[in-house]
Each structure stands twice: as structure tokens, then as C-alpha cells.
Structure 1
Amino acid sequence: MPVFTRSVAVALCGLTAGPAAGAAGAETVAAWEEGAQLSFADAARHFARLGDSREARFGRAVMLVNAQPKTLANVAEGRALFLALRRERADDEPGIGALYYLARIAQFHEARPDLAAARTSFATLVAEHGDHFYGQLARFKLATLALYDAADTRPPAERLAAAEALGEPLHHPGIKRDFHLLAAEAHLRFHLSVEHALRHFLAAESGRAPVRDVVRAALFLQIGECARELGRHGLARRFYERFLAEFPRDARGATVRARLAGLPREVAP
């Protein structure tokens, strides 16, 4: 995967993409690194100085739609750049990425969000580029929409079943991890299945994707709490102890020690 796709993934999605497919100029890398530091306005100006290549225009568009404070002018310019990239070529990295960001603009950045347009673009990415990074990310976004679109009147159990069906084919480690977290939290939020929530939390914890410490700490606690509620005391003990060992200064330590003291002794599974 090219450097720019990896950098966008890390900076904007909290995901780690694959290795770079080739060398990129130092200035291009520097521009993406500015974006990775959330200096979106500076990165947009940096890309503007890099000329008219497809990567430079794609990078500028990404930074414009993420720049704060958000302005209609920046969003409009970013949209125009993405549309031009799609017209020129729809099947290379900038072209595929442009469709993803057009969907995100429709979903979040328009004066009036257009979820139908966002869904259509996400579905196109899944159908045409399902194994591509942006196709995988689009599948995750469709799962999120299935769960939390306020206009969806289906019962929560049906929405969650649809989301889980969308997430099943995911194979990108970071996106798969985030899907498991999404599904686990939905099971708990909608009071559906603590057992299924635990299964998803365990899958997220055991995956190959790196997890930030703040997420890892919360994940250990969520596994511990779900396991304790289900009577899986050995599993609960294991993750409470891992939490205390890896995050000894966390303010929740006293609560975790109390949880441990209240667990019956048994052999961990």
C-alpha cells in the first residue's frame, strides 16, 4: 500500500495499513506526516506546493475536509478535488480513496447530511474493491450505519445481525479489531447478549492489530466485567490481573482489586 494511504489510515482512522509499495518524495512524506500530527491546514498548504500530481491533489483534499475549524469552502474544494480524481481515473489509489471520502463528506460534512448517498458510495466500494483498504473501511462504515442510523426502525437485534453479517468478511487487522469493538459495545448498549459481547471483546484483544494503551486498558476491564457477569471467574481474574500488571497507576486499580477479592478461586480456562 502506498505511503499516502498508510498515512491517511494512521492519522485519520486510527488504523495501521500495510507496508509501503514504493518510495515517495521526502516532501510528500512530510506533508502526510503533518496530517498524522493533525496539522491539517498546514498539510493542505504543503500538498498545494507539491504540484498537480494525483497524490498531491488527493492529499490536499483529505486535509481540507479534515481541517478545523470546518468551513463550507474547504469542504467544497475538497469535494471538487475528489470528483476530479474520480473522473480522471476511478480504479487507482487516489480514485478509490476519493470515493470513500466523498461518502464521508455526504455522511458528515455537508450542511445537510445525505446518508443515502453515503451508503451508495460505501456499497460501491464494497462491491468493486471489497478487499482494498478503503473497501474494507467502507464495509465497517456500513456496519456502523446499520447500528446507529436513527432513521432505521428495525429492532436492535435485527440491526446488530445486519452489522455482524457486514463485518464477518473483514480481514484488515485494524478494521476487524474496530468491528469487534463496535459489535461488542452494541450488544451491551442494546442489552442483547453479554456472551456475544465477550466473544467480540476477546476477538479484538487477540487480533494482530496494535491497540492504544487507553483502548487496551478499557478492553481488559470490559473482558473482566463480562466474564465476571457470566460466571467465568478464571477468565475475569486473568484480565483483571493483566490490567493491574500493565496499568499499575490507573485510577481504576482500587476497583479492580476489589473485584478480584470478590472472585471465587478457580482454575483459569
Structure 2
Amino acid sequence: MSAAGDHPRTLIIVPAWNEQESIARTLSEIGDTVPWADLLVVDDGSGDRTANVAADAGAMVCQLPFNLGVGGAMRTGYRYALRHGYDVAVQIDADGQHDPRYLARLVERLAGADVVIGARFATADDPYKVRGPRRWAMVLLARVLSRLARTKLTDVTSGFRVSNRRAIALFAQHYPAEYLGDTVESLVIAARAGCSITQEAVTMRPRSGGQASHSPLKAAVYLFRAVVALMLALVRDWPAQFDEGIDSPGPAVAPERPVQLPDAEREGQP
């Protein structure tokens, strides 16, 4: 797929770890909704057929040799976007929770911002419900990040995001791989670097495959780890790292065609 008409050159980055059950359906829906965008699946060291299924669906695939987490996978995607001169980079989860019908609206909002978050809890009638310690953590994180970004943010842990060329250049160098780094800390980095951040209300859906486990204990652990992650992100001296390359858009090179490798060669392919 490639950009067409008046649309900016857009790369949709799909970080995926053991998502063979849902990845084909997700890619098909994205392709039907935004055929003008290019698709890159970053297989994050999966132990199943995620990479093969994604390649068979027509996506470009980058296979990481081992699991780096969402942050590591997304930094790989941002580096690809920077190297090939994309105007917009989009993060969409592989499990089907993010509805690509909102994508055009998110991209349009980039006219007034560097990063746009597809946000839950932005409207009173949002059907997505979170309770207990997990919700407390999300409210705390949103309040602190809203103050830092100087705008109201309701869902700073959302992984449904779009970034312009300036944010792509920043994230290609500094996108964090630590716990919650791909969500909370990346926004701290963007705000400290002077990037403008806003949000657009979206509705998220249940996973289309695999399992998401929740329990009171895991929710409490999430609360504790979220607070620690936020504190570490705020105390780090990020601005000193932003002098080099933040405004560099990268060369305007056409994206490479996906290479279809035999199964034996695909395994372990970085």
C-alpha cells in the first residue's frame, strides 16, 4: 500500500508479540479503511507464526531476534519511518482494540500538534470502563501529564497514537523501552522536547484474539509500577539529549517492498 491523493505519506506501525490469531484480521481492516497508508509489522520476538501471517497478509515485516517490549518495537518502527521520509507515523495494536476508522481524524488533528492520542474517557458516554487501582493510576498519570503538556489529557496510557515528522525524529532516537515507557514516558519526552500534544476521543474495542488477564493483585501492582514509572520519567534529564537531530525529517526515500522469505529463512530474521 502507498500514499495517494492529498494524504500525507503515512506509515502504520503494528507492534506484535504472539498475535497470530488476530494479526491478519487487524491488517485487513486497516488496509480496507486507510488504503493510502503503508503497513509495517514489527514482530517482537514472537514464538508463533505472527511474522508469517503478517507477511502473507501483504505487510512489510521486521522480525526482532528476541522480545524487546512495545517500546523497543516502536523505536524500530520510528527509525524505519525516519529513514524512509514518512510524514506521519501511526501506532496501532495488533489485537484489534484500536478502530482504524478513527485514523483519518487523528491524522487531521496533526495540523495543530506533533502528537495526537486516540483517547478513552474523553466523553461522558465512553463505554470503556476501568475500576479500582488501575483506574486510579490512569487518573493520576493523566493529571500529571496534562499539566506537563499544558492541555487536558484523559488517556495517557493509550497506545493508539499518530506522530508528525518532528515527533518521528525525536522518537527514533529516544523512544523508551522501559515499563510504561511507550506510553507515559514517551509523552514526558515529547513535552520536554517542546512537542505539542493533544487527543481525539475514540472508542476502543475488546481484543479480537488472545487473552488479557486482570486481577485485583495485578491491578495493585500496575498502580505501584505506574507511579514509579512516572516518577522516573519526570526526574530524568531528558532535555539534554534533544540537541541532535530532533528537527531532521530524514531522507525522502520510497519504502522498500516487502521481501517474502521462505519459512526457514524467516525464523530468526532481524
What's the TM-score once normalised by structure 2's chain length? 0.25
Structure number with greater CO (CA < 8 Å, separation at least 6) is 2
Structure having the larger proportion of residues in helix: 1
Bigger-Rg structure (1/2): 1
